[in-house]
Amino acid sequence: MSKRVVLAYSGGLDTSVAVHWMGKELGVEVIALAADVGQGGDFSAIEDRARAAGAVEVEVVDARADLAAHYVAPAIRANARYEGRYPLVSALSRPVISAALVDAARRYGADAVAHGCTGKGNDQVRFEVSVRALAPELEVLAPVRMWGLTREDCIAYAAAHDIPVQVRSDSPYSIDENLWGRAIECGVLEDPWESPPADVFALTAETATGERSFSLTFDEGVPTALDGRALPLEQLVAEVGAIVGPYGWGRVDMVENRRVGIKSREVYECPGALAILAAHEDLEGLTLERDVAHEKARLEPRWAELVYDGLWFSPLRQAIDAFVESTQRHVSGEVRLTCSPGRCDVAGRRSEVSLYDYELATYSAGDRFEHRHAEGFVRLWGESLSTWARRQGGAG
Ligand code: ARG
């Protein structure tokens, strides 16, 4: 059995009880690691809570720049949306946190890491598979899966052991948030027929009127500037979200297939992420050669599925990323988006390395397309069907 454990600590009820419970029931020393992935909140209060719960060491790791540069940027380049819709918010933060856990375990001489996930979700899969891919020698503990306590039991446990917790008994939702967006589960959302109530949303609400346009500059597939102003990616996502969110745009409401075989109703709000993905995908329309674009589109769902399934640290994800990266060399340029109540649409795009050739595309004067070349091309294109029709009757 392990002696020192690094726990991914959120500051919430479950992980606070986990600090104390692991000390008492498993006889281990707990090092609490709180990762800042852009979820907001008061980290010094979180630190105090971890100590009060019995952590021997507490560490806050600012993982925002790492998450943006090494996880969100590849997700943008891959137009990543699980099942065509969910931009992988939680799925991207788990490998970052896992890497931080492994790093801390090595520095503190711990022989195990732990997370506060239940047995029903994807996040346990992502933590455990990631940690084992990075450090197969470490044990991974899942106290919440071991203890069988209900929410009420946890509240009673915390009270009995003087563990300070912030229990918002008024909020029935389970929320996971980072710089790429917010995921909301539970409560009334568990009925897929019920509309999400207004109080589940924090980043999107239709308050803006009129129209607003803004432009995003991309450099090799990654957004680098908003209206010509260079910004670090994490800030750019937030600022784009602050423009489009007030138009009530950037929500996803879906029933999704979890890795553990459960269908679950999920509500996401990711205004910055969805606007950036729409712009990136559009710019690829202008700058990617046809076959590359089509092949990339075939690989994108696979990339999203791998990451969703907890296989960030896998050779296949790395290999697809190498392909994706090689496609992005010329995905540079500018995309203009226009917001109006309830909407955000791409309205224009341009690039110095655009493959759009006006002289080939135009129907007006200035047309340089060789019309006479079309005749032979089209005839040969359909040659086998003509043969089929002559010899076997064809479609008639
Ligand atoms: N269903 C999403 C996913 O698997 C969101 C998970 C959110 N986690 C949470 N504790 N609310 O990525």
Question: For 119-178, what is each residue's pLDDT tens digit?
Answer: 999 999 999 999 999 999 999 999 999 999 988 999 999 999 999 987 765 678 999 999
Boundary of a domain, candidates 117, 137, 167: 167
Handedness of CA 190, 193, 198, 201 (dihedral sign): positive
Co-location of 157 and 206 in the same domain: no
Identify the pLDDT of residue 2. 72
Q: Is 319 a domain residue? A: no
> Please, which pLDDT band fits residue 1 given cuts at 50, 70 and 90?
low
Identify the pLDDT of residue 39. 97
Handedness of CA 139, 140, 143, 148 (dihedral sign): negative
How far apart, in whole angstroms, are the C-alpha atoms of residue 59 and residue 9?
9
Evaluate: CB of 257 within 6 angstroms of ligand 1.
Answer: no
CA–centroid distance, residue 175 to ligand 1 (Å): 8
Largest Cα–Cα separation, the chain: 87
The CATH number given to whatever domain includes residue 260 is 3.90.1260.10
Active-site residue set? 14, 94, 123, 174
Stretch 27-48: mean pLDDT, rounded? 97
Stretch 26-46: mean pLDDT, rounded? 97
Residue of 311, 299, 268, 301 whose CA lies nearest to 95:
311
Burial of 255 (0-12, 13-18, 19+ CB in 10 A): exposed
Boundary of a domain, candidates 107, 136, 167: 167
Domain count, the chain: 3
Do 3 and 108 meet the contact criterion of CB atoms below 8 Å apart? no
CA–centroid distance, residue 184 to ligand 1 (Å): 7
Structure tokens at 15: 């992980």
Question: Which atom of ligand 1 lies closest to the CA of 264?
Answer: 1
Q: What are the tens digits of pLDDT across the range 290-317?
A: 999 999 999 999 999 999 999 999 999 9
Residue 374 belongs to what domain range? Answer: 365-391
Token match 């607003």: residue? Answer: 212
Stretch 45-72: mean pLDDT, rounded? 98
Do 176 and 156 meet the contact criterion of CB atoms below 8 Å apart? no
The CATH number given to whatever domain includes residue 30 is 3.40.50.620
Token match 């493959």: residue? Answer: 355
Evaluate: CB of 176 within 6 angstroms of ligand 1.
Answer: yes
CA–centroid distance, residue 157 to ligand 1 (Å): 25
> Please, which pLDDT band fits residue 274 given cuts at 50, 70 and 90?
very high
Boundary of a domain, candidates 117, 132, 167: 167
Question: Which atom of ligand 1 lies closest to the CA of 82?
Answer: 12
How far apart, in whole angstroms, are the C-alpha atoms of residue 326 and residue 244?
31
Q: Return the DSSP state at 85.
A: T
Do 32 and 39 meet the contact criterion of CB atoms below 8 Å apart? no
Q: How far is CA 90 from the centre of its chain?
A: 6
Q: What are the tens digits of pLDDT across the range 216-237?
A: 999 999 999 999 999 999 999 9
Q: What are the tens digits of pLDDT across the range 83-99?
A: 999 999 999 999 999 99
User: Hey, what amino acid is at 206?
Assistant: E
> Please, which pLDDT band fits residue 12 given cuts at 50, 70 and 90?
very high
State which of 93, 123, 173 you would mutate to test the pocket of ligand 1, scoring each by most atoms of that ligand within 8 A of its C-beta.
123
pTM > 0.95: yes or no? yes
List the 4-8 sheet strands across, edge first.
57-62, 29-36, 4-8, 112-114, 139-141
How many angstroms separate the Cα of 382 from the Cα of each of 204, 262, 330, 387, 389? 51, 47, 33, 9, 11
Identify the pLDDT of residue 165. 87
Co-location of 202 and 148 in the same domain: no
CA–centroid distance, residue 122 to ligand 1 (Å): 7
Co-location of 15 and 83 in the same domain: yes
Mean of pLDDT over the chain:
97
How far apart, in whole angstroms, are the C-alpha atoms of residue 325 and residue 318?
10
Stretch 71-78: mean pLDDT, rounded? 98
Identify the pLDDT of residue 47. 97
Q: What are the tens digits of pLDDT across the range 166-214?
A: 776 567 899 999 999 999 999 999 999 999 999 999 999 999 999 999 9
How far apart, in whole angstroms, are the C-alpha atoms of residue 288 and residue 77?
12
Co-location of 345 and 383 in the same domain: no
State which of 10, 39, 176, 262 you would mutate to test the pocket of ligand 1, scoring each by most atoms of that ligand within 8 A of its C-beta.
176
How far apart, in whole angstroms, are the C-alpha atoms of residue 248 and residue 128?
36
Co-location of 209 and 341 in the same domain: yes
CA–centroid distance, residue 102 to ligand 1 (Å): 22
Co-location of 370 and 339 in the same domain: no
Co-location of 106 and 142 in the same domain: yes
Q: Examine the pLDDT at 3 and tell me if it is beyond 80.
A: yes
Identify the pLDDT of residue 171. 79
Q: What are the tens digits of pLDDT across the range 35-44?
A: 999 999 999 9
Co-location of 254 and 284 in the same domain: yes
